[in-house]
Amino acid sequence: MYRSANGRIQEIWWVQGGGTPVHVDLATLGAAPPAADRPSAFTLEGPNTQHVAYRATDGHIYEVI
């Protein structure tokens, strides 16, 4: 995860052992505003448990799942 120059939260991932890397603009998927800082990410055990949180330019904290 990283914040691009335009403030959008970006993710690059791939399946271990092969496959083509996938790029996703997480903020666009969640219709969230641009980020003011670097994102923070964490996972929990289990499927679909990746979370990304960041402070947006409007001063609010957003979480993209």
Digits of tens for pLDDT over the chain (65 positions)? 889 898 888 888 888 887 888 888 877 776 778 999 889 988 888 776 788 899 999 999 988 77
Q: Tokens at residue 32, please? A: 């969230």
Residue 28's H or E segment, with its range, is helix 26-30
pTM above 0.75, yes or no: no
Q: Which of 31, 44, 29, 37 is nearest to 61 (CA)?
A: 37
Strands (E), the chain: 2-3, 9-13, 22-25, 40-43, 50-55, 61-64
